[in-house]
Amino acid sequence: MTKPVILTGLRANNNLTIGNYFGAMLPIIDMAKKRSAEYQVNMFIPDLHSITTPVDYSALNNQILLTAKHFVAAGLPIADENIYLYRQSYIPAHSELTWILDCFTGIGEMNRMTQFKDKSGTIGADRVSVGLFNYPVLMAADMLLYGSEYVPVGDDQTQHLEITRDLGERMNNQFGEIFTIPRAVKEQHAFFGKDQGLRIMDLQDPSKKMSKSDESGKGVIFLSDTPEEAARKVMSAATDDKAYVRYDRENQPGISNLLEILALFQSRDRDEVVAEFEGQTLYGDFKAIVAEEVRRFLLDFQKKLADVDETVVIEKLEQSERDLAVTANATLLRAQQAVGLRPRN
Backbone angles phi, psi at 181, to 5 degrees: -90, 130
270-277 and 253-265 helices, crossing angle to 10°: 120
Q: Is-catalytic flag, 316?
A: no
**Could you tell me which residues are beta bridge partners of residue 45?**
87
Characterize 188-221 residue by residue with b for buried, 16 or more Cβ atoms within 10 angstroms of its Cβ, and e for exposed: bbebbeeebeeebbbbbbbeeebebebeebebbb
Q: Which of 3, 33, 119, 218 is catalytic?
A: 119
DSSP letter for 90, please: G
Q: What is the DSSP string of 158-216?
A: HHHHHHHHHHHHHHHHHHSS--PPPPPHHHHHHHH-S-----PBPSS-TTSB--TT-SS
Pick the closest to residue 180 from 140, 149, 225, 219 (CA basis): 149
Q: Is-catalytic flag, 209?
A: yes
Q: Which of 33, 212, 218, 304 is catalytic?
A: 212
Q: Which of 3, 33, 117, 209 is catalytic?
A: 209
Q: Is-catalytic flag, 119?
A: yes
First to last CA, the chain: 23
- The set of catalytic residues is 119, 209, 212
